[in-house]
Structure 1
Amino acid sequence: MKQLENKTALVTGATSGIGLATAQRLAAEGAHVFLTGRRQEALDAAVASIGDAATGIRGDVSRPQDLEAVVAAIAARGRGLDVLFANAGGGEFAALPDITPEHLQSTFGTNVFGTVYTVQAVLPLLREGASIVLTGSTSAHNGTPDFSAYAASKAAIRSFGRTWAAELAGRGIRVNTVTPGATETPGLKGLAPSGQQQGMLDAMAAEIPLGRLGRPEEIAAAVVFLASDQSSFATGSELFVDGGAEQI
């Protein structure tokens, strides 16, 4: 039997990279997956890659009004929600003197406010025994120059995971954080100027004990573990999937 047979899942930021790979894997494990993303064309392509086991709803998690449509669609299906992968996020480099209000608003708006809004919105739909998985980052554990706003936003995510695990334990809802290391995704490549992407990726890979970048499918496998009964006694935890970067 598949690990998530007859379950319902929601993946935010599901149109590429880790989000898309996870949505595909959740569906392969038997779940019906709701996907969100800001770009309709990319969302349609993501849904098409999964088929009938996927439903796409365009929206921006930093806008609570957009989440109303997501909640309505899940509620209309009538089966509640078993898995939330709050994955939508992003960031860009900015040295301390160059951090602007707009930079902070963009980074925290999606990574922090959007995560809070998403979890709040789906709370009434979460079934007893449901699993919430948050996307952290190794950046919250090190001092990457010019990346302080992003790192701080992901440190907030880790803190949310601990506190929400305590708050929701009475409902049997587990909350865990998956923490990817450098993973070869469009978002990571987009951090480098045109023509410098491969050099940046090679430099990152050289710093990882396993000698390579992660693949989105490897992060997705960890999310499935945290989403399924295979991790039934894990809550408030942080699972690093980083090739040993923060461990060795």
Structure 2
Amino acid sequence: MPHFVAFPARRFFALQNRTGNQRTSRLPFAHREILKKKRHSSVETKPLPIDGLVEIQPKLLGDARGYFAETFRQNWFDAHVADVDFVQENQSLSSAVGTIRGLHFQSHPHAQGKLVRCVQGAIFDVAVDIRKGSPTFGQWAGVTLSAESCNQLWIPEGFAHGFCTLAPDCIVSYKVTGYYNRDHDLGLSWNDPDIGIAWPAEADAGTLSAKDQTQPTLSALPHYFDYQGEAR
């Protein structure tokens, strides 16, 4: 079963200033590698093994003080990822390591695409393909999103989404393409054996909400989405 996992490195490094002298910096190693490769490059996109899912790595402009990053630009997103309009932005705080949220989605006519980022801490972010007719129906992909890396995950309509926190006090922010609608707010079991998500060891079922403890399995899920063919 295809999936993608990328855990960020955590080290510190000495960053050169503009005169070429070294200064001790408290920036993590993950930033160093990104800055070395992308100081003069565009934002990088990394399609995941399931069609439609895209990891986005913004360009970081850094010096001895830290870095600056443009985390979202509508015209770039339209041209390189998906031509969609975001209408709402949500944010959650999860205090305990191993907190599980999900798996969630909204059905038509209030289906949502999500652009997810972790602005504090780190999470293992997961999407499950629930599009009937998709060659990867019922399969999952996961990527580590962290405040260090500033990476993001685009999840289009037709996926169930969830995450597990890898650090305390994680803050997750995500833009969505549809407004929240209680009547169309649905879910999928986080530990369905037919899906087989390889959650990190930190995952704690005791943190699930009452609603997420009773979400249906994939085999019991009604038909909500159809596969529309390969994304760009």
TM-score by length of 1: 0.24
Normalized per residue, the structure richer in strand is 2
Relative contact order: is structure 1 or structure 2 higher (C-alpha 8 Å, sep ≥ 6)?
Answer: 2
Normalized per residue, the structure richer in helix is 1
TM-score by length of 2: 0.25
